[in-house]
Structure 1
């Protein structure tokens, strides 16, 4: 079974939602037969690479709320994250473009390190004091290496603005086609969708339902036919 997760590194509910999904997946009896693929979704796709601002300032401008309201929301998110065992800095974080991070996630997918990289990026953005937006490409290279990627491979992607750019845009077009207007957005076997950072119990139910309704393989009996198996291949009789 394949689970695709559309998310953005700048999305706090994606950070929390991944922890809740991971908890459900860990308890799922068939977890070893579940492939998880992370898909790209930018909350702020038009933001320039060098356009960085404090999270509170971004929230007040984007949603028309007061600084006090924005801070209260961050405090609530911090409590939600803590309930899942996650660290969350409720103050002095910043916000910027995540496009390069998504491009690196596509590199990581080719090397089987996608889940490791997205977790490293989430932790760096939401829990650590250093910024993922203001220290330049070498900060992202450092995080890519922490996730098990080669430093030169990561630098090569960041130096080429076209590297994996179409893959990111394709993910975003697919999200729109599937009706995802926000993230996190979970799609199970292209049959069920789960929107938002739902409780772990909801993910447990979704996994069980999607697994239970998978179509079994139907064999068409066409009589004996030559084939190869664990014991070898059939010997032609004529």
Structure 2
């Protein structure tokens, strides 16, 4: 069974939702037969590269709330994250364009290190004092190397604006086709969708439902053919 997760590194609920989903998956009896694929979704695709501002400033400007309301929201998110065993800085974080982060995640996917890099990017954005958006490509190269990727190859990806750009856009078009207008968005076997950072219990129910709904294997009978089994291999007779 395949689970696809559309998310953005700038999305705090994606950070929390990933932990809740993984808690459910860890307890799922068929967890070793579940493939998890992370897909790209930009919450702020129109933001220019290098346009970085404090999270509280972004929240007050974008949603028309007071700074006190924005800070209260951050405190609530911090409590939600802590309940999942996650670190979360409720003050002093930055917000910026995430397109290059998504490009790098597609590079990591090709190398089998996508989940490792995604978790490091989340940690860097939500838990660490250093800004993920103000230190340039070398900060991202550093995280890619920590995830087990070749630093030089990661640097080359970031230096080429076209590298994996089509993959990011394809993920975003697919999200729109599936009706996702926010993240996190979980799609199980292209049959069930779960929106938001639901409790682990909801994800557990969704996993069970999707697993049980899988159609049985249909056999095509095209007559006798050579095959091997526990008793040996059939030998053609002339």
Aligned to 1:93: 93
Within a 5 Å distance, the mapping from 1:195-214 to structure 2 comes to 195-214=195-214
Aligned to 2:215: 215
Shift of 1:226: 1.6
Cα distance in 2 between the residues matched to 1:233 and 1:104: 48
Aligned to 1:79: 79
Shift of 1:202: 0.2
Cα distance in 1 between the residues matched to 2:6 and 2:231: 43
Unaligned runs of 5+ in 2: none
Cα distance in 2 between the residues matched to 1:83 and 1:72: 17
Within a 5 Å distance, the mapping from 1:40-119 to structure 2 comes to 40-119=40-119
Cα distance in 1 between the residues matched to 2:193 and 2:106: 22
Shift of 1:183: 0.0
Secondary structure class of the residue paired with 2:78: helix
- Alpha-carbon spacing, 1:234–1:147, altered in 2? closer, same or farther (3 Å): same
Shift of 1:231: 8.2
Aligned to 1:154: 154
Cα distance in 2 between the residues matched to 1:67 and 1:205: 38
Secondary structure class of the residue paired with 2:5: strand
Shift of 1:220: 2.9
Shift of 1:221: 3.0
Deviates more, 1:213-222 or 1:139-148: 213-222
Secondary structure class of the residue paired with 2:72: helix
- Alpha-carbon spacing, 1:236–1:109, altered in 2? closer, same or farther (3 Å): same
Cα distance in 1 between the residues matched to 2:122 and 2:236: 58
Shift of 1:46: 1.1
- Alpha-carbon spacing, 1:117–1:229, altered in 2? closer, same or farther (3 Å): farther
Aligned to 1:18: 18
Aligned to 2:181: 181
- What's the TM-score, normalizing by structure 1? 0.97
Secondary structure class of the residue paired with 2:218: coil
Cα distance in 1 between the residues matched to 2:164 and 2:62: 28
Secondary structure class of the residue paired with 1:139: helix
Aligned to 2:140: 140
Shift of 1:48: 1.1
